[in-house]
Amino acid sequence: MNKGILYLIPSPLGDVPLTDCIPTLNIYILNELQHFVVEDIGTARTYMARAGMKEKLDSLNYYELSEHTPAAEIDGFIKLLLSGQNVGLISEAGLPAVADPGSNLVAAAHSNGIRVIPLVGPSSLMMALMSSGLSGQAFSFHGYLPIKPQQREAKIKEIELLSRKGGGSQIFIETPYRNDKLMSTLLRCCSPLTKLCVAADIGMQTEFIMTKRVAEWRKSPIEIGKKPTVFIIQSFR
């Protein structure tokens, strides 16, 4: 029996027309699939309805995958693929398996010789980097920084030093309701010469992307609010 294919299906970064960010091929593949592993069923159903699947939403099979999903459940998804069923993996927003629990399923698919096909779509991380003016030759992604203040400050100083020693751009994200606290900490902890890019609401009409030295940000601080935001710093000797 032939094994199924795991399709990695990007989703919109916000409430924008699908034609602005999702290729036609992705919509075609979505409509051909019956099984979906998703981070949130409600969000996935909304996406599918917008993709022209409203009439068959209730006939589809959904399986939730979060950071708390036990390995036994992931094995169940793999068995589905091994039985010959194609499966779509959909993240909450943007690319699946990047800063996303879907990476566990992708790893398991490779371990079982299952073909993985990534589809083209929006990536807030890469869109922020390409529009930041900071190094695209050398960069690191750190995910979410620690929540506790002392640990967070130590991590910021660590990645700033890494950049200064030649590590290029350092990318990280935050839970939206903590954006402004993180911004304040960055302005307090980083060197005045360090460049900081704030990229909020990427791909939406309210998009804001600005890169300045920390000294300049201190003179004209902003309130980001609860917008999905990517932060990038690059320090210099």
* C-alpha to C-alpha distances, 15 to 30, 91, 168, 184, nearest whole angstrom: 19, 15, 32, 28
Q: Which of 77, 92, 118 is the last residue of a domain?
A: 118
Residue type at 221 in one-letter notation: P
Q: Which of 66, 84, 118 is the last residue of a domain?
A: 118
| CATH code where residue 104 lies | 3.40.1010.10
Pairing verdict, β 35-38 and 61-64? parallel
Range of the domain at 44: 5-118
pTM for the complete prediction? 0.91
Residue 167 has pLDDT above 90, yes or no: no
Lowest pLDDT segment from 26-35, 65-74, 148-157, 188-197: 65-74
CA atoms within 13 A of residue 123's CA, in its CB half-sphere: 18
| CATH code where residue 225 lies | 3.30.950.10
The set of residues, in sequence order, having a beta carbon less than 8 Å from that of 72 and lying 6+ positions away, is none
Q: What is the pLDDT of residue 174?
A: 95
Q: What is the pLDDT of residue 166?
A: 87
Q: Which two tokens stand for residue 116?
A: 């993985």
Q: Which two tokens stand for residue 223?
A: 């309130």
